Structure 1
């Protein structure tokens, strides 16, 4: 099994610049005019150009909230990016255009920084400390 990560963006070139700069990824393949594969992480990241206001699912419809928008939005699915130096990762992402939504917090398992990319997608940087999640794991 393999996971692929797909992110809708309204400006493909700006998204390439952000993800290459913020995460150190590289362009793998261009998939026509509306898609780019970024490589260098644990799973390929596919940036897919989708217009602001376009239907957010295949059947479309005028249901409230069913259109794409690229202001900050919430979804129960987001990326956690494990890093060795959270302060450096946060600084690099902010310089590339990300927003840090809350101050970095430290727990006994590690550090966590809640972030958002320029396209409204939330993500977190995680820096494990000690035994990482094993510090709080129960059987």
Structure 2
């Protein structure tokens, strides 16, 4: 069947503010915008990637509550400390971390509307550590 994951949707209260956050904090680019009766969506894509993050906004005034029915949206980075500082300066709020684990470092933050995000840096052992008996 050849399934591939193509997009993930986050329901947001303030579409323009969240587009601004994700483009500023992570470098997403707006790929498309759709307006239909009762909803508006903005498709975001990272440069060179095909996977889309879709920000979905109800335009009929209904309330949006952030639930706990899913885990965090995960991002890989080469430099966790720099990435964490950047997303916090862009409007995210800290949650947990940085946490050092075997082979990785990670931190959890929340976007301006409360969606949980996970930042992960893959850490390879240094040459000195590899030579230890």
TM interval, shorter chain, is 0.7 to 0.9
> 5+ residue gaps in structure 1?
55-66, 132-139
1:7 aligns with 2:13: no
Q: Give, in whole Å, the separation in 1 of the partners of 2:71 and 2:108.
A: 13
CA contact (8 A) 1:74 1:122 kept: no
Paired position in structure 1 for 2:42: 36
Match of 2:131 in 1: none
How is 1:1-139 mapped onto 2 (pairs within 5 angstroms)?
1-3=3-5, 4-32=7-35, 34-40=40-46, 41=49, 43-50=51-58, 54=62, 68-70=64-66, 73-130=67-124
Q: Which has the larger radius of gyration?
A: 2
Give the secondary structure class of the aligned counterpart of 1:48.
strand
TM-score (norm 2): 0.78
Cα–Cα, structure 1 residues 128 and 42, in superposed 2: closer, same or farther, change >3 Å? farther
RMSD: 2.2
Listed one character per residue, the Cα deviations across residues 15-58 of structure 1 (whole Å, up to 9, x for unaligned) are 1000001111100111127111101155101001136983xxxx
More strand per residue: 2
Does the residue aligned with 1:101 lie in a helix, a strand or coil?
A: strand
CA distance in 2, matches of 1:69, 1:53: 13
1:69–1:125 Cα change, 3 Å: same
